[in-house]
Amino acid sequence: MELEAGREIRDALTRARDTVLALSANGEVVRTGADLLRRAQQLAGRLVERGLERATVGVCFRNSAAALEAFIATELVGATRLPVEPSAATAEARAIFAAGGAKAVLTDGHHDDVAEDAEGWTKTALGAATLVHHDASPESAPRWRDRVTVHPGHPLVVYPRAVRGGELFGIPTSYANWRAIIDVNVDLYRSGHYGPAPAGDDCYLTVVQLMHATGMVGSFPFLHLGLPQVFLPRFRADAMVEAVERHRVTTLFAVPGMLSRVADVLGDGRRLRSLRRVLYGGAPVEPAEIARLHQVFGDTLCQLYGRYEAGWPLTVLTAEDHRRPIGERVTGRPIDAIELGIRDGEVVTRSPMVSATFADADGWCGLGDTAVFTEDGYLKLTGRLDGMINTGSFHVYPDEVEAAVLGHPDVSAVRVAGVADARWGETIVAFVVSSNPLLDKTLRDWLRARLAPYKVPAVVHVVDRLPGA
């Protein structure tokens, strides 16, 4: 049985026709439900003109109403969106789009080598035919109102992890998976699992980039709930505080390191009084830091654990849990909508949110995380099976960084590893064998033209031989 692509989001925006649903942090851009739907349908029309129904479309946006419109437009035409972190270097974005088979790219033009031409498709350094769409793009295209059906298993999103030998390692989320994820999160809000049940004055802050878990647990659920959100183009602690206070934000999702920086900015005594739900996750956080954050954010904290291949969230450490001392690093208890267990030391889960690509014949998905359950039923993570490095909200595979480093003419061997970081979970360290003793001072700058900033090692050690060799 086929699904009508984008039906739920179209219906949600129609219901919220006159309600303001999207605002820029500075208040200059305001979109109602009708505005978002109209502009998304116009953008969908541009995609259809190019024959991109059910095709793979690359997207690269900083947080904005325009980003939301682009994400919705791809869904309306039954396409597969291939999002790239907006901080990625142009060369990396181009490699992901090529390896992922993107037939076209939608972007806000923030890359210096992408011409801002909202009137037509352009060939750019991103590789595929590119259409620039930003908050100020004129409304010139006719609205596309037709319907596209897709198989429930057709991918709506392919989340890129790494390009290896020209092949994309990505995590597909199907149209059926996406519906399940949104339904789960809407129910968690309405049931009060994330804190107080939603009210008419609730407002969400999209501060983590939209392509990440924030879209699944906040940005799109708030659209479906008919509630507004504010877009912060990129994270900066003082700007985040200003946005919360200016718009009386009640809900947000952040990685722990972001909350730590906000706590530093607030200092002693100052509080963000409008907040009701501060969801956080994406990186391990020590109990002592959770206790400090609880002093700043109070009973608003709610820790989430999830994986793109299995859905967000899988476990929740509720506000009530945060009221009691947390004596060890735990992620919370499994939510009711899923099955979750431990098999041979590895976390496994089964639910409609699980990507079929990562499921076994019985529907179980292994997450690569090792863990145990505490006596109280909380999940306690103990490690990874594949060496993946968790740098805040980003997951980095050492072999991808190693391949980039080996491209430097002065490097003969490299080993990349993650080291514990109290604020961001882990940071990346590279050990390189090189005859150039000054390479530790120049390699990081060289890598920034080839990798997203979060993949560039924080520390480079020039060594005579690799550790353990």
Q: Over the stretch 322-361, which tens digit does the pLDDT of each residue have? A: 998 887 878 999 999 999 999 999 999 999 999 999 999 9
Distance CA 9, CA 15 (A): 10
238 CB-near residues (< 8 Å, 6+ apart): 265
CA–CA gap between residue 15 and residue 326 (Å, rounded): 42
Q: Cα torsion for 242, 244, 246, 250, to the nearest 10°? A: -170
What is the rounded average pLDDT for all residues in the chain?
91
> Would you call the peptide bond into 313 cis, given omega within 30 degrees of 0 as the criterion?
yes
Q: How confident is the model at residue 321, as a pLDDT?
A: 93
- Residues 266, 291: Cα–Cα separation, whole Å: 16
Summarize the confidence of residues 172-187 as an average pLDDT: 98
Mean pLDDT value across residues 278-301:
92
The Cα 358–Cα 365 span in angstroms is 6
User: How far is the C-alpha of 437 from the C-alpha of 39, rounded, in Å?
Assistant: 54
| Least confident among 101-115, 266-280, 346-360 | 101-115
CB 389 within 8 A of CB 383: no
Task: Find residue 169's DSSP bridge partners.
Answer: 162
Question: Which residue in 153, 151, 146 sits closest to 174, CA to CA?
Answer: 153
Element (H, E) at 228: none
What span, in angstroms and rounded, lies between the C-alpha atoms of 295 and 450? 40
**Per-range mean pLDDT, top range of 292-296, 396-400, 464-468:** 292-296
> To which residue do tokens 């804190």 refer?
195
C-alpha 116/C-alpha 17 separation (Å) is 30
Give the pLDDT of residue 117.
Answer: 47
Q: Read off the pLDDT band of 283 (50, 70, 90).
A: confident
Q: Are 99 and 166 in contact (CB under 8 A)?
A: yes
**Torsions phi, psi for 295 (to 5 deg):** -65, -30
In angstroms, rounded to a whole number, what is the distance separating the alpha carbons of residues 225 and 219? 10
Give yes or no for residue 268 having a pLDDT over 90. Answer: no
Compare 127 and 194 and report the one with higher pLDDT.
194
Which ranges of 77-160 would DSSP assign to H, the alpha helix?
Answer: 90-99
DSSP assignment string, 279-342? EEESS---HHHHHHHHHHHGGGEEEEEEETTTEEEEEEE-HHHHTS---S---BEEPTTSEEEE
In this predicted structure, the answer to whether residue 155 has a pLDDT above a threshold of 90 is: yes
Strand partners, 302: 279
**Order of strands across the sheet that contains 379-384:** 339-343, 346-350, 365-373, 379-384
Q: What is the number of other CB atoms lying within 10 angstroms of the CB of residue 226?
A: 16
Share of the chain above pLDDT 70, in %: 95
User: CA 176, 181, 184: angle at the middle one, nearest 5?
Assistant: 120
- The average pLDDT across 186-199 equals 97
Element (H, E) at 39: helix 33-49
Q: Which amino acid is at 139?
A: E
Q: Are 332 and 373 in contact (CB under 8 A)?
A: no
Tell the residue number behind the tokens 């802050």, with chain if given: 205
Mention every residue, 6+ apart, whose C-beta is less than 8 A from residue 310: 349, 351, 353, 354, 355, 358, 365, 367
pLDDT, average across residues 256-261 = 93
Where is average pLDDT lowest: 249-258, 347-356, 379-388, 453-462? 379-388
| pLDDT of 222 strictly over 80 | yes
| 153 CB-contact burial (10 Å; exposed 0-12 / middle 13-18 / buried 19+) | middle
10-24, 76-90, 135-149: range with lowest mean pLDDT: 135-149
pLDDT digits (tens, 9 = 90+) for 349-406: 999 999 999 999 999 999 999 999 999 999 999 887 766 777 765 777 787 888 888 8
- 8 Å CB contact between 368 and 388: yes
Q: Average pLDDT, stretch 127-135?
A: 88
Q: Which two tokens stand for residue 14?
A: 């129609």
Domains of the chain (ranges plus CATH)?
A: 3-175 (3.40.50.980), 191-384 (3.40.50.12780), 389-463 (3.30.300.30)
- pLDDT of 118 strictly over 50: no
Percentage of residues of the chain with pLDDT beyond 90: 66
| pLDDT of the residue at 113 | 54
Q: Considering only CA atoms, which of 271, 251, 242 is closest in space to residue 201?
A: 251
* pLDDT tens-digit map of 402-452: 888 888 888 888 888 888 776 666 788 888 888 888 887 888 888 888 887
User: Is the model more confident about 41 or about 138?
Assistant: 41
Number of Cβ within a 10 Å radius of residue 292: 14
Residue 111 has a pLDDT of 63
Number of H helices, E strands in the chain: 13, 27
Task: Choose the weakest-confidence range: 100-104, 126-130, 223-227, 348-352.
Answer: 126-130
CA-CA distance, 193 to 365, in Å (whole number)?
24
Could you identify the residue written with the tokens 């430097």? 408
Task: Tell me the sheet residues that pair with 395.
Answer: 390
Q: Which two tokens stand for residue 102?
A: 């993107």
Residue written as tokens 């504010």? 230
Going by C-alpha positions, the residue among 311, 260, 266, 320 that lies closest to residue 285 is: 260
**What's the start-to-end Cα distance of the chain, in Å?**
55
Residue 114 above 60 pLDDT? no
